[in-house]
Homo-oligomer: A and B are copies of this chain.
Amino acid sequence: MTSLPVGALTDDPDVLAAYASDRASFCPSGRPSALVRARSVQDVVDTLKWAYDNRVPVVPQGARTGLSGGANAVDGCVLLNLEKMDRIVEIDVPEQIAVVQPGVINADLAAAVAEKGLYYPPDPGSRDISSIGGNVATNAGGMCCLKYGVTGDFVRALQVVLADGQVTRTGRRTAKGVAGYDLTRLFVGSEGTLGVVTEVTVALRPAAARPLTAVAFFDSAADAGRAVADYLGAGYRPAVLELMDRTSIDAVGKLQDLGFPADVGAVLIAQSDVGAEATEELKAYERSARACGATEVIVADDPAEGDLLMRGRRLAGLAFEEYPACLVEDVCVPRGRLADLIEGVERIAAEHDVLIACVGHAGDGNVHPTVLFDLDQAEAAERAFDAVMRLGLDLGGTITGEHGVGLLKREWLAEELDDAALWTHQQIKMALDPRGILNPGRVIDSVPGGRADADRRSS
């Protein structure tokens, strides 16, 4: 009989409580029965074998910086934490790939490969504290995704421990390959519901040129949204195109002096990393911004100024946590609907009498309208939060651009997907996790149903 890996095991109630949730607000978490801090693949295998035999739920965790409750405990579960598997196994400079354990912090990987002249682009807002395993579990995005792509675009191969303890490798080290189904992409973004990732092989790029930065100021965030559509529609693809509205600027301003004019309605920050042609790319940006009502456009001639500004932008998440309570949204819409989304969010804020900050990856159409509220406004805040998701769907968008479904948006998934897609999710979940032990209640349940399922079970 398999047992839990004793050396890695904790059942200290205080420790369990500390590990029972991620950073999602207003997202319930259950009472775990144990915590395994895995130090090896064998620890993960032992945990899953034991849990499979005993039908005990397992909640895989990385750095618990997620924003959708995907790492929150389930009653009676084993928390399977991977943050101690944090070794960069290999950086292969000629092949431009790195092999890492899941607990490696995103920024640590980026820094390690940068030292070797390489670049790992995916840079979620949490990059200083989130782990590659968590990034893979949620298919995390970030600021550089507009030009370079999301986490999944950089994952070449995975080592995964399946529900019953089988260890498998997906993908390959080569640039291309089509031998079998794309299991790598199936596990990426599956939020720990199909397997536990124990090693990640990522593709790297040659280092990019240090970016030039331009900032455009607008009276309204919707104008900034129109500038996004205009600029990208003209055929440019800058490295960064980030939006902050008035409320976001105010929030960040409490942590860092951004040096913006006092009455600014919104800023849209563009960065170009195409070397000698960056100036031209930013000139085109200035034209689009002015055509859409920018009151001022400044191109930083010192790259350090740009770095400082981006540091400010990256503080938004932290700045929102200074409020009594916040709910972070993650809708993504077609870029042409960005202005509609922003105006709609302003309407929703007014209707529900809450403050909503609009900040995010405008170039992707992915913004994080963040409801900022006092605890006695919680109900109104949740209604506003739901209304933003509904608006995102109505504009042809998605309920989650990069944070994942987790627990927070599980019921909303059925609003976005059609019945056959939900059926497909359930079939896959049941096929790979027939006892439903892996992160149960997240993304999708293992609920039998449908015609082919009856068939499959009688076959």
Contact = CB atoms under 8 A, between A and B. Distances in A.
A182 B175 contact: no
Contact of A277 (B232, B276, B366): B276
Nearest to A451: B164
Contacts of A232: 96
Given A176-B366, A335-B175, A336-B94, A168 B424 contact: yes
B405 A179 contact: yes
A145 B176 CA distance: 9
Contact of A189 (B174, B181, B455, B457): B181
B168 A420 contact: yes
B182 A332 contact: no
Interface string A188-200: 1110001000000
Of the listed residues A162, A166, A177, the one surrounded by the most CB atoms of chain B closer than 10 A to its CB is: A177
A163 interface: yes
Interface residues of A, number: 101
Interface stretch (A26-34, A308-316, A426-434): A426-434
B182 A421 contact: no
B434 A455 contact: yes
A89 interface: no
Contacts of A448: 459
A186 interface: yes
B425 A180 contact: yes
Interface stretch (A10-18, A247-255, A411-419): A411-419
A416 to B, nearest CB: 5
A183 B459 CA distance: 25
B421 A435 contact: no
Contacts of A167: 418, 420
A229 interface: yes
Contacts of A93: 233
Contacts of A334: 95, 173-174
Interface string A383-421: 000000000000011111111110001000100111111
A235 interface: yes
A432 B424 contact: yes
B178 A402 contact: yes
Contacts of A188: 182
Nearest to A434: B456
A332 B173 CA distance: 10
Interface string A276-298: 11000000000000000000000
Interface stretch (A76-84, A146-154, A256-264, A348-356): A146-154
A402 B176 CA distance: 7
Contacts of A433: 452
Contacts of A419: 166
A102 B148 CA distance: 27
B170 A421 contact: yes
Interface in A104-144: 117, 138-139, 141
21 contacts: A94-B336, A95-B334, A145-B175, A162-B420, A162-B424, A166-B419, A166-B423, A174-B365, A175-B365, A176-B361, A179-B399, A180-B425, A181-B194, A183-B421, A424-B432, A428-B432, A430-B431, A434-B455, A434-B456, A456-B457, A457-B457
Interface of A: 93-96, 117, 138-139, 141, 145-146, 149-150, 152-153, 162-164, 166-170, 172-183, 185-186, 188-190, 194, 205-207, 229, 232-233, 235-237, 275-277, 332-336, 361, 363-366, 396-405, 409, 413, 416-421, 423-425, 427-428, 430-435, 443-444, 448, 451-453, 455-457, 459
